[in-house]
Amino acid sequence: MMHGFGDLRGVRVYLIISQNQKMVIKKQPLSPGDIILQEKPFVYVLSSRSRTERCDFCFKKADLLKCSVCRYVYYCGRGCQREGWSIHKIECQHLKRISPRILPDARKAASEAHKNTRERGELHQIILYREGLQDL
């Protein structure tokens, strides 16, 4: 089942992003197929079922290198291992300690969500208004 905004005719999009206590507002009419917002996901984690088949950082299928400390997380190369270190350094010793048990996906996602909330501080808002309903 696909969820969406339904019929978007007559809709204006107001994108409000807080930047140093200022508000940036962009107003434009929409056409079918327009991308109104594109961002990285707030949290993403590799499924435990795929951890030996895909890179923990970029999710690509490749010949993988195992973390030499925890021996739980796999990377497709040194570049992804370096990029993923900011998250993995927090969990590496814990994963080594619980081995060979597998960390539940929900627990890993919650850990990353906590880290992201601390780093980003505030969330972006998207507000959809029916045309003519409210003027800013």
User: Tell me: the pLDDT tens digits for 94-117?
Assistant: 888 877 777 677 667 666 766 666
Model confidence, pTM: 0.53
The amino acid at residue 98 is: I
Q: Are the C-beta atoms of 59 and 53 separated by less than 8 Å?
A: no
Burial class (CB in 10 A: 0-12, 13-18, 19+), 57: buried
Q: What is the pLDDT of residue 60?
A: 93
Going from the C-alpha of 135 to that of each of 15, 128, 129, the distances in angstroms are 13, 12, 9
